[in-house]
Amino acid sequence: MWTFVFIDMIIFGMMFLSFMSERLRHVALYAASQLRLNEFFGLVNTLILLTSSWMVVEAVQAARRNEVRRVRRFLGLAWVLGLAFAIDKLVEYYLKIRAGVTPATNSFYSFYFFITIVHFFHVIAGMFFIAYCRGNARLRVGSERYVTGLENVGLFWHFVDVLWIFIFPLLYLVGRRL
């Protein structure tokens, strides 16, 4: 899992590099487009993902102690927070598209939609893995294989969190003019 996550990190790193490179060519356009993003959607999503990551940390520690109920509770909370992130993002997309902003509007929004949608798919995948681990917790907590599997799911979920930690300032905050 460390290898898979690292390869994915490199891919996102290339996206960030492409974004910054394109931003250099159209500084005024990117600044104007950024102003049309609502940073509070990004802020709420950051807080949601950080809290969700914390829940997964608690679930992994509970699994190591063989505490089934706590594993299920914390994974359930992590999943609900993942769902909250997804809903928040979908509302933001809906408002943007309703306002006539699409990936074809300009290159800033092409990057905005591409980076956040790829990240969104990672969130959905992570939620699937979390739900799978929660579903199997009653039968399999206590086995070394389950703990290793949950640690790997945790690694992936924290990686999704790390990506958003950079995506939020990159798209919403850096260079923002009020």
Partner 1 sequence: MLCGLTLLSVSLVEEGWHRSFASLVIVLIAAVKSRLVILRYMEANRAARHWRFLYETWNFTVTATIIIGYVLSLSGMV
Q: Which residues make up the interface to partner 1 (CB under 8 A)?
A: 2, 6, 9-10, 13, 16-17, 20-21, 23-25, 27, 39, 43, 46-47, 50-51, 53-54, 56-57, 151, 154-155, 158-159, 161-162, 165-166, 168-170, 173-178
Query: What is the nearest approach in angstroms of partner 1 to the Cβ of residue 44?
Result: 10
In three-state secondary structure terms, 102 is coil
Which of 54, 120 has the CB closer to partner 1?
54
Which of 36, 138 has the CB closer to partner 1?
36
Which of 88, 151 has the CB closer to partner 1?
151
With contact defined as beta carbons under 8 Å apart, do 59 and 71 qualify?
A: yes
Query: What is the nearest approach in angstroms of partner 1 to the Cβ of residue 6?
Result: 6
Q: What are the Cα distances from residue 56, in Å, to 46, 113, 130, 132?
A: 15, 27, 9, 13
Query: What is the nearest approach in angstroms of partner 1 to the Cβ of residue 99?
Result: 21
What phi and psi, each to the nearest 5 degrees, are found at residue 36? -85, -5
HSE-up of residue 56 (Cα within 13 Å, Cβ side): 30
Residues 6+ apart with CB under 8 A from 126: 82, 153, 156, 157, 160
Query: What is the nearest approach in angstroms of partner 1 to the Cβ of residue 53?
Result: 5
Which of 21, 104 has the CB closer to partner 1?
21
